[in-house]
Amino acid sequence: MTTIQSILFFAFPNVGEQDLLAPWELMKSVAWSMAEQGETLAVTLGSFDGGVVTTQMGAKLEMERAISPTDRFDVVYVPGGIGAGQLSLDPRAIAFLTAHHKEGRWVAANCAGVGVLHRAGVLAGARVTSPATLARRLPAQGTPISAPRRAWLIDTERRVFTAGGAATVHPSTIALVTQLFGEARGRELAAGWDTLPLHGESLFSRVGPEMRDDASISGGLQDRWEDVFLPPVTAAERAA
């Protein structure tokens, strides 16, 4: 198991509060537990511009640091939210994620953040899942989604973590902790946060539970949100 000592939670304007803060809080808890045992895990809340990031519901979050494109972390986690679509068009973000993946570092995302990883080209060949809102567009653009769709998928060979919408964020983070830091650490987290009695042993699997999609509901969500969460790339943006 590769030693993980640094995790970046990558914030951006209009990020989803739950998508960002739930996994960040869980990882901070892991870092606190590790520190008690003399181990180090740096969990950073950062953005390219630093300062204050306004979330999609209007909360203002003070960043711990401004991120340079040359900074490196053992794991970069991209949350979802309506701002993820614009992030997927930001060449700095795409280059940042691509470089991390090429160097053999972990890349992770939940909800619409999966679309950002897709645009960065880091999902090729990996087993991935997505939120229902992107489960039609991603395959159409060359990134197959597991069938049936899963709450999360962890591809250890390619070091890629993907999770579905907001309901999957908490349990999928415990699955990621289990993969990165071992089952004992995952079980400690699951017990301490009262997650184990609800979700059981699925929390410690690299393959999350099946998502029981209703085609009519999913189709309506996709019609409404695809262009927000994964906007079409214009000719000018392709040329750039």
Tens of pLDDT, residues 102-157: 999 999 999 999 999 999 999 999 999 999 999 999 999 999 999 999 999 999 99
**pLDDT tens readout for residues 16-52:** 999 999 999 999 999 999 999 999 999 999 999 999 9
The pLDDT of residue 1: 56
Residue 124 falls within a domain, yes or no? Answer: yes
CATH number at residue 168: 3.40.50.880
3-state helix, strand, coil in the chain (%, to 5): 45, 15, 40
Residue 95 falls within a domain, yes or no? Answer: yes
Residue 16 falls within a domain, yes or no? Answer: yes
- Residue corresponding to tokens 């909800």: 111
Residue 118 falls within a domain, yes or no? Answer: yes
Residue 233 falls within a domain, yes or no? Answer: yes
Residue 31 falls within a domain, yes or no? Answer: yes
**Full residue range of the structural domain in which residue 219 is found:** 6-239
Which pTM does this prediction carry? 0.96
Burial class (CB in 10 A: 0-12, 13-18, 19+), 223: exposed
Residue 169 falls within a domain, yes or no? Answer: yes
Q: How many domains does the chain have?
A: 1
The pLDDT of residue 233: 79
DSSP 110: E
Residue 1 falls within a domain, yes or no? Answer: no
DSSP 114-181: HHHHHHTT--TTS-----GGGTTHHHHTT----SS-BSEEEETTTTEEEE-SGGGHHHHHHHHHHHHH
Q: How far apart are CA 96 and CA 119, in angstroms?
A: 12
